[in-house]
Amino acid sequence: MILDAPTFKLNLTPEAALSIIQSEINRRAYKQWEVEEIRLIYVPYYIFSFDVSAEGTAQPTGKAGLNANTGELDEFTPSILERPLNKIKATDSSSESEVEPTNIPRNDVDRVASVKIASSVGLKKDNITISAISKYYFPFYRIWINVGGDSGNSYTVNVDAILGAPLGVEGISPRKRGFEEDATIVISKLNTPSGWVELFGTLPKLISGGSGPLKEALSSKTSRWVILAAVIVLLLLLTFRGSSVSNNCSADTGFVGQKGFLGLSPAPIIPKVASDGKRYVDVTCSFVDNGNAASSACSTATLQINGVPTSIINSTCVYMQTPSTPYYGKITLAWYLNETPQATASSTYGIAYH
């Protein structure tokens, strides 16, 4: 189907999208879940730049997306355009798909977008300037799932068919696990590098005592140190075993400053300000599996201020269906100023990857 605005070549298959959702469901400890339906949907968006001007207040600028079907603001879609992607003018010919209608005409975007942004920053729409408006169709796999069996709940989630980002999964509440389930999951995570990344992200909480049966098991200081020592030994064994996956992460263009004198010091990270006042940095991670089979991998980014890690952490995971082919994951670090009280006007920002 020919479209009235550019779209993008699909990078994900429906099977890969379902694998990403399966990983999210597994992380929430559900044993039963069912896919009720999956559709490829092309969603129209207006991507635009905005400037905010008002005396005595912060004056954020940036880019945002406006869903041309629902009228909702979106911060994710503009970041897709920073990737080297293949633009096309038609839907994927090998897949059955739907195209959502455009309910907001082009000549009404300035008014709708300025009202939406003004409302989010608490100003009048006259203080908002909208420019550089472009329309695109972004492909998503929309998936209807039932989680928890007959007595469970139904959810609608989306997987970006370009980068593989799951959207809407935050509405699925984790299920509480028993001690035996926790132990089984920890052992299974020790078999993969990505499992170690996730495991060590939650290890401090585990060592501090956990909850329920797990808290009782770790109530003894001696038992906690025994468990920690065992984990460290297993980590060393895994480190020397190696991995067929190579990955590289870096902040996107526009978030990186100039290198220091003679280029000897690393370039600082320069956060941008979103319409809601949040500071944010977009990161792209590339993954290549040099093995012979499909696999998945994860990377984690931690915001640093003056070289000291903060609590601002986020991760991305990708499913690599084809070996030796690059896949890309997206990480956005976002925070309000009150979440980084140690930051000052002269602070230097950086990002640590693992």
Q: What CATH number did the domain enclosing 292 receive?
A: 2.60.40
Residue showing tokens 């998503």: 140
Number of domains in the chain: 3
Query: Has residue 19 got a pLDDT over 70?
Result: yes
How many angstroms separate the Cα of 105 from the Cα of each of 119, 133, 152, 208?
Answer: 21, 12, 40, 55
Whether 17 has a pLDDT exceeding 80, the answer reads yes
Residues 246-255 have a mean pLDDT of 88
Residues 193 and 268 in one domain: no
Average the pLDDT over each of 71-75, 126-130, 176-180 and give the range with the smallest value: 176-180
Q: What is the pLDDT of residue 333?
A: 92
Work out the average pLDDT over 223-249: 60
Pair (163, 103) in one structural domain: yes
- The reply to whether 143 and 207 lie within a common domain is no
End residue of a domain, out of 171, 197, 232: 171
Mean pLDDT in residue range 99-125: 89
Phi, psi of 214 (to 5 degrees): -65, -40
Give me the pLDDT at residue 177, please.
61
Domain shared by 154 and 135, yes or no: yes
- For every residue of 24-50, DSSP letters joined together read HHHHTT-S-EEEEEEEEEEEEEEEEEE
Dihedral-angle region of residue 209 (phi above 0 means left; psi in -120 to 50 means alpha; beta otherwise): left
Q: Are 147 and 33 in contact (CB under 8 A)?
A: yes
Question: What pLDDT, on the 0 to 100 scale, is given for residue 241?
Answer: 46
Query: What value, to the nearest 5°, has the Cα angle with vertex 312 and ends 235 and 204?
Result: 40
Q: Where are the beta strands (DSSP E) in 252-353?
A: 272-273, 279-289, 295-305, 308-320, 327-335, 349-353
- Higher-pLDDT residue of 213 and 351 is 351
Q: Over range 278-300, report the average pLDDT.
A: 84
Domain range for residue 267?
A: 245-353
Question: Which of 129-133, 264-268, 281-285 is least confident?
Answer: 264-268
Q: Chain-wide mean pLDDT for the chain? A: 79
CB atoms within 10 A of CB 242: 8
In this structure, the answer to whether residues 111 and 218 fall within a common structural domain is no
> 154, 35, 95, 80: which is closest to 332 by C-alpha?
80
Residues 317 and 193: their CA atoms lie apart, in Å, by 12
What is the reported pLDDT for 7?
95
Gap between the Cα atoms of 229 and 215, Å rounded: 18
**Domain end call among 194, 209, 241:** 241
Cα–Cα distance for residue pair 206/188, rounded to 1 Å:
16
- The predicted structure's pLDDT at residue 108: 94
In the listed set 199, 218, 241, which residue is the last one of a domain according to the structure?
241
Same domain, 166 and 20: yes
- Among 26-30, 279-283, 285-289, the minimum mean pLDDT is found in 26-30
Lowest mean pLDDT among 116-120, 207-211, 262-266, 326-330: 207-211
User: Do 164 and 298 sit in the same domain of this protein?
Assistant: no
> Once rounded to an integer, what is the mean pLDDT over residues 337-343?
82
Question: Does 236 share its domain with 221?
Answer: yes
Same structural domain, 12 and 124: yes
119 and 160 in a single domain? The answer is yes
pTM of the model: 0.54
- 252 and 264 share one domain: yes
List pLDDT tens digits, range 179-229: 555 555 555 555 555 555 555 555 555 544 444 544 555 455 555 555 555
The answer on 218 and 158 residing in a single domain is: no
